[in-house]
Structure 1
Amino acid sequence: MRPTTPRRPRRGWRGHVERVGAVARKDLRQWARDRQALAGPMLIPLVLMLLCGILFGFGGDEWNIGLINEGEGPHAAAFEAEIRDLRSNISPYFRVVTTDADEAERLVAAGRLHLVVTVPADFDERIETGQRPVLRTRTYNINTDMMKNARLRLTRAIQDYAAAQAPGAAPVTVTQETTRPDDVWRRTFIGHSAVILAVMVGSALNAAIMTAREWEHRTVKEIRLAPRPVGDVTAGTLLAAVIAGGINTLVALAVAAAVFGVRVPVGRLPVLAGVAALTALACAGIGVAIGAWLRDYRTVQPLLMITFAGSFFASGGFSSLATLPRAVQVLDRFWPPAYVFETMQAQAWMTEPPSAAPVLAGCAAAAAVGVGVGAWALNRRL
């Protein structure tokens, strides 16, 4: 028998492709077998999408109030009807829970009512004599922003009542149009933001887990001894992480489209796909660096999940950057996920989105930085 000689690894670009593919296949097989790693990157986007979208995105905010009408005349009855019938283009502004004074006092003190409005007994008398009646109100002041809106809604009811009672008497009238045909519904905005989050967290977390797994499974010694350049190992891990993150993103996109009505114009999909791919590559590079640095699955997963969940709220995922507090906006100038949310939201929803060339150039630069950081960190650890 002729002695067998070990097969030399191929050199050149074909050898690099084979090695990258082998690492990617190995990581994807392990990813598919690990249920926790498989589900973890999908949970954060889906949970935030369902929780925030259902709580804040479906319908209007019809607030519970108590309405006590002590008057008996037609003016008091007309004002009561104005409060009951006040509504936006989405839903009524108020839901009258009780008209009993004692019950209303008890419920507002317990935080079960946002507002109690009492129409005084002399309401008609003051209106007919040209005086101003005084309404008595009580609010549950645990949420100052909500109470501000409750008072503004009551002011709207007063203005509408005055305009109906004395047409032309008011020097200024307001015609409100609260929705337009091209408006982006809140549930759609949240659903789309969760898909953007899935792009980032899917690639970053999968890359970090795949990298940390080499130390946990003690296969890092094999990588050190194998005749493979570190660049091939890094590229294979990045490829596997981007593929796994892409699967996570497609699941989130399917839920967003089916439940929350996310419909992006077809003509904008190529730019969004390019931004998503480059963002995923940048996040995967950072994930490789974090996995090589921490080398512990139990540390990597909660760290990245909490970071990205916080970024969803603080970087424009739940509400656009322009609506966030000033201090948060200043912080977001230095936080990359804020730019990802704002860029992809603008490309998806703006009537005239900004030019795609600067956007793609910026994402390409971010991808180069992310990959470079990941390769450097992995090389240092290996």
Structure 2
Amino acid sequence: MSRFFSFGRLWALLTKETIQMRRDRLTFAMMLGIPLFQLILFGYAINTDPKQLPAALVAPTQDRFTRAMVSALELTGYYRFVTVGATAGEAEEMIARGDVAFVVTVPSDFGRRVERGDSPVILIEADATDPSVASGAISTLSTVAAEALSRETGEEAQNALNAAKQLSVIVHRRYNPEGITQYNIVPGLLGVILQLTMVMMTSMALTRETERGTMENLLSMPATPFEIMLGKVMPYLAVGAVQVVVVLLAAKALFDIPFVGSLPLILIGVFVFVLALVILGYLISTVARTQMQAMQLTFFFFLPSLMLSGFMFPFRGMPVWAQMLGEVFPLTHFLRLIRSVMLKGADAVTVAGSFGALALFVALLAGAALLRFRRTLD
């Protein structure tokens, strides 16, 4: 047996590491779960050419030409009209909230202009906060609408056929008319950066105490679980505040991101989001036994949240089951809130749904963390 190398010693070390890895069930589950989860998401949920985008139709007189055009747009696969009788005010609220990606407005004299041979006009308003979502659908508009009118006129008068050929489709790219990608990415980066750092740092709060052997001292203090949780998460709220200031200043100075909405509303939304993140990290710290496990659980939460929230890929391009799964992540609602306020100038009423979802996350995560911490006291 050589003192430099021995198969016996090597085998003993391999056996020891195998047993240790088998006992660490969380790490073993992460090794298998993360690749499988990513494969399913990228294979089934991710779609860079979104279809079935929700749209609203504003048409005071829904004649046969209007119905033919709507049917043709739906047959392209890009449009899904969730409402066909909206008023201009209702459609404006829907696109501001993000309920629809397009508003198709057909004038009341549209059918008469087609029959007279005049040049008919329709207006398409597209939510261009995410340029990649609207590009494919907009590219099909003029050709599809003109062909639909040509088929509807059939063998009728030549002036109607000429009107169909002269159809004008006016496209308004709302909120980001130049299609600048940074307007969509940079506000979302604020949420991504906060999620990665806040959850990871907070998740190591209690696990660090356990590994250092100071957990017993913490538990012996005359403090309630709620006070301990506040003492652990509040310092990271201050860290998050610094990150928010840095990102917002950089967004304005480097990328000239427009701040159309209310800055206090943005800061309130960021505060609720950060509060949900640090409580989530605290909940993870009550589950993990080591800092490595806490980091693994953080990434297991971070990766699907990043892919299903609408930051990397269009949210409406995912299948329904993936969109439902994306709704359980705070980042999804924060992205809607921050983009609506910064780019659309939305008020508190418009983003009330996103605020409510984030507040619900705070309440549920705080309750779960307190219950889990009490169980760890035994």
Could you say what the CA RMSD is over the residues aligned between the two structures, in angstroms?
3.4
Which of 258, 269, 291 is equivalent to 1:263?
Answer: 258
Q: CA 1:254 to 1:299, structure 2 compared with 1: closer, same or farther past 3 Å?
A: farther
Alignment partner of 1:228 is 2:209: no
Q: CA 1:238 to 1:346, structure 2 compared with 1: closer, same or farther past 3 Å?
A: same
Secondary structure (helix, strand or coil) at the match of 2:165 reads: coil
The question of whether the paired residues in 1 share the 8 Å contact of 2:203 and 2:294 is answered with yes
Quote how far apart the aligned CAs of 1:259 are.
Answer: 3.5
Alignment partner of 1:214 is 2:217: no
- Counterpart CA distance in 2 for 1:366 and 1:169 is 54
The question of whether the paired residues in 2 share the 8 Å contact of 1:287 and 1:374 is answered with no
Quote how far apart the aligned CAs of 1:192 are.
Answer: 0.6
Structure 2 residue aligned with 1:185: 180
Give the partner amino acid of 1:338.
Answer: T
Quote how far apart the aligned CAs of 1:224 are.
Answer: 1.8
Deviations 1:193-216 (A, max 9, x none): 010223333332221112221112
The question of whether the paired residues in 1 share the 8 Å contact of 2:333 and 2:358 is answered with no
Identical counterparts, % of pairs: 18
Moved over 4 A (4+): 172-182, 351-354, 356-359
Structure 2 residue aligned with 1:307: 301
Alignment of 1:22-41 (within 5 A): none
Structure 2 residue aligned with 1:282: 276
- Counterpart CA distance in 2 for 1:372 and 1:180 is 41
Quote how far apart the aligned CAs of 1:278 are.
Answer: 1.4
The question of whether the paired residues in 2 share the 8 Å contact of 1:199 and 1:276 is answered with no
Give the partner amino acid of 1:292.
Answer: T
Unaligned runs of 5+ in 2: 1-131, 147-161
Structure 2 residue aligned with 1:377: 372
Higher deviation after alignment, 212-221 or 315-324: 315-324
Deviations 1:296-350 (A, max 9, x none): 2122224323532432232111344224344422322444432222233223222
Alignment of 1:324-339 (within 5 A): 324-339=318-333
Larger Rg belongs to? 1
The question of whether the paired residues in 2 share the 8 Å contact of 1:203 and 1:281 is answered with no
Quote how far apart the aligned CAs of 1:352 are.
Answer: 4.4
Structure 1 residue aligned with 2:113: none
Quote how far apart the aligned CAs of 1:190 are.
Answer: 0.6
Alignment partner of 1:296 is 2:290: yes
The question of whether the paired residues in 1 share the 8 Å contact of 2:309 and 2:315 is answered with yes
TM-score, normalised by the number of residues in structure 1: 0.50
- Counterpart CA distance in 2 for 1:229 and 1:327 is 40
Secondary structure (helix, strand or coil) at the match of 1:228 reads: coil
- Counterpart CA distance in 1 for 2:283 and 2:189 is 24
Structure 2 residue aligned with 1:363: 358
Q: CA 1:301 to 1:261, structure 2 compared with 1: closer, same or farther past 3 Å?
A: farther
Give the partner amino acid of 2:371.
Answer: W
User: How many residue pairs get matched?
Assistant: 222
Deviations 1:117-168 (A, max 9, x none): xxxxxxxxxxxxxxxxxxxxxxxxxxxx9xx97xx79x99xx9xxxxxxxx8
Structure 2 residue aligned with 1:46: none
Q: CA 1:360 to 1:312, structure 2 compared with 1: closer, same or farther past 3 Å?
A: same
Alignment of 1:1-382 (within 5 A): 171-172=165-166, 182-183=176-177, 185-265=180-260, 267-353=261-347, 355=349, 356-357=351-352, 359-382=354-377
Give the partner amino acid of 1:310.
Answer: P
The question of whether the paired residues in 2 share the 8 Å contact of 1:284 and 1:371 is answered with no
Quote how far apart the aligned CAs of 1:262 are.
Answer: 2.5
- Counterpart CA distance in 2 for 1:354 and 1:319 is 26
The question of whether the paired residues in 2 share the 8 Å contact of 1:286 and 1:373 is answered with no
Deviations 1:197-239 (A, max 9, x none): 2333333222111222111211101112223333221111110
- Counterpart CA distance in 1 for 2:172 and 2:353 is 34
Deviations 1:69-113 (A, max 9, x none): xxxxxxxxxxxxxxxxxxxxxxxxxxxxxxxxxxxxxxxxxxxxx
Give the partner amino acid of 1:350.
Answer: K
Structure 2 residue aligned with 1:94: none
- Counterpart CA distance in 2 for 1:368 and 1:225 is 27
The question of whether the paired residues in 2 share the 8 Å contact of 1:282 and 1:366 is answered with yes
- Counterpart CA distance in 1 for 2:301 and 2:353 is 27
- Counterpart CA distance in 2 for 1:321 and 1:268 is 25
- Counterpart CA distance in 2 for 1:169 and 1:248 is 56
The question of whether the paired residues in 2 share the 8 Å contact of 1:198 and 1:252 is answered with no
Q: CA 1:351 to 1:289, structure 2 compared with 1: closer, same or farther past 3 Å?
A: closer
Structure 2 residue aligned with 1:41: none
Quote how far apart the aligned CAs of 1:256 are.
Answer: 3.2
Q: CA 1:252 to 1:295, structure 2 compared with 1: closer, same or farther past 3 Å?
A: farther
